[in-house]
Structure 1
Amino acid sequence: MLFKLLSFVESCELMSFTYKRFITYFFRGLLFVVPIALTVYVIAWILRFIDGIVPIPVPGLGILIILAFITFIGFLASIFITKPLFEIFERWVFRIPLINILYTSIKDLMAAFVGDKKKFNTPVLVKLSDTVFRLGFITQDNLLDIDDRTLVSIYMPHSYNFSGNLFLIPKENVTILEGLSSTDVMKFIVSGGVSNLSIKEAVSKKREDFNN
């Protein structure tokens, strides 16, 4: 009887050990598979959406046509002869209520990422209180027309989201994170702080405000 009881206990311990190993391997698999699967899914969805804009029954041809069209428009917008036409079009759009807000907002956002004057290429650490700091990106570095103090506009993205808040912060409360790329800082914010980021090293390396 005692032997059977010991055998039962050992089998239970073995099952428990096997179950724990199974759960461990399963979650490790999720950690590896889910990011790849979601990335592939999103990219495939975007490509299918773009390819579907041009109804041509040849996979990928719609994407090539759209890329060529956008490149051609960019070429025309850079030519001195056609620039006045685009300026006339924009002046006409600016006169339309609501449409002008949507158009200018989208244009400014696109220019911040791909324009000649990129806005999201300076990550900063903002001191909100003695114990609270937030990460963000400079969008304007001189707002003297708003306040007598030197204010800067800081965009602070939300974690696990594509939205964010805009704050006007005194320069003395802002520390430029030199040595850190905007990509790494954005990944750190969007991931909710899960991604690795050596903020301490960047701050200790050089802590300066915009008055210097």
Structure 2
Amino acid sequence: MSDALKTSGMTRLRNYFLTGFVVCAPLAITAYIAWSLIGWVDSWVKPYIPARYNPDTYLPFPVPGFGLIVALVLITLIGFLTANIVGRAIVNFGERLLGRMPLVRGIYGSLKQIFETVLSNKGDMFRQVGLVEYPRKGVWSLVFVASEKETEINQKLDQEGDPLIAVFMPCTPNPTTGFLMYVHKSEIVLLDMSIEDGAKLIVSAGMVAPEVKAKLVTLNGEPVEGGLANPSLGAQPARSSRTASSRPNR
């Protein structure tokens, strides 16, 4: 009896530890990443802050996050100035100068287009999650549907009534790397999960799958609230409904 109680107590302690670990680990990792990001920004911004405005010069301890606050204020100020005519003219002048530099103009142009696409509100980023049969028949890979815009690729390879769609196939566990593919629309199986859920599925290597919404069960044509009329009967009401409807009328 004592051995059973001891085993039960150890099992309970183990479960408590695992529960605490599940709660604390994400918080600790998130705090570490946030603290590292704040420290990285501070290390870049604080050296350029004048000593009279830098609290680290007259306080006995450093102020974490001050550089990040200054960076956010400066970025917002630049955005405000760029929104008017004078600021926009200065930005256009700087872009023309960069456009004359062979290597720099390619890097700047690509980065600008990526940021404008990601941060725009036009919905040109990834819109849906889907599946394509890759790398062979019977094996399915998760993809993000990128765009259905008319491009030269569509004009060259488009089949009548079955347009090509740009999809991005991310790699596990880093979804920022992957493959760009053009797939016929008829070969893509669209999913109901969000882009965020798809990214979680990829990062976790399939361990964190989004919850599937329960399908509505009907009983004699009437929707049953909560899915099932009687949980103890399982799917029995749905089967009895189909059986009754399949009997011939006398």
Shorter-chain TM-score: which interval? Answer: 0.7 to 0.9
Per-residue deviation at 1:111?
A: 2.1
Verify: 1:160 aligned to 2:173, yes or no: yes
Partner of 1:191: 204
**CA pair 144-54 structure 1, distance change in 2 beyond 3 A:** closer
Report the Cα offset of residue 90 of structure 1: 2.0
- Give the length in aligned residue pairs: 192
Aligned to 1:41: 32
Distance 1:96 1:139 in 2: 31
Q: Does 1:84 align with 2:98?
A: no
The separation in 2 between residues aligned to 1:201 and 1:148, in whole angstroms, is 40
Q: Which residue of the partner structure matches residue 127 of structure 2?
A: 122
Q: Could you tell me how far apart the structure 1 residues matched to 2:124 and 2:26 are? A: 28
Deviations 1:113-170 (A, max 9, x none): 2124344341231322542332232333135412331322212222221322222212
Q: Give the distance between the partners of 1:112 and 1:199, measured in 2 at CA.
A: 30
The verdict on how the C-alpha distance between 1:92 and 1:175 changes in structure 2, with shifts beyond 3 A counting, is farther
Q: Contact conserved, 2:42 with 2:68, CA < 8 A, in 1? A: yes
Aligned to 1:207: none
Match of 2:223 in 1: none
Counterpart residue number, 1:60: 65
Query: 1:131 pairs with 126, 135, 138, which one?
Result: 138
User: Which residue of structure 2 lines up, in the alignment, with residue 206 of structure 1?
Assistant: none
- Match of 1:81, SS? helix
AA paired with 1:42? I
Identity of aligned residues (%): 27
Shift of 1:85: 2.5
Higher relative contact order (CA 8 A, sep 6+): 1
Q: Matched residues in 2 for 1:95 and 1:138: separation?
A: 35
Letter in 2 for 1:128: E
Gaps of 5+ in 1: 1-6, 203-212
Unaligned runs of 5+ in 2: 47-53, 57-62, 216-250
- Partners of 1:37 and 1:169 lie apart in 2 by 41
Q: Which of 70, 75, 87 lines up with 2:80 in the alignment? A: 75
| Residue matched to 1:173 | 187
Classify 1:139/1:77 alpha carbon distance in 2 versus 1 (closer, same or farther; 3 Å).
farther
Decide whether aligned partners of structure 1 residues 59 and 184 sit closer, same or farther in structure 2, where only a CA change above 3 A counts.
Answer: same
* Structure-1-length-normalised TM-score: 0.73
CA contact (8 A) 2:129 2:143 kept: yes
CA RMSD of aligned residues (A): 3.0
In structure 1, C-alpha distance between the alignment counterparts of 2:212 and 2:121, rounded to whole Å: 28
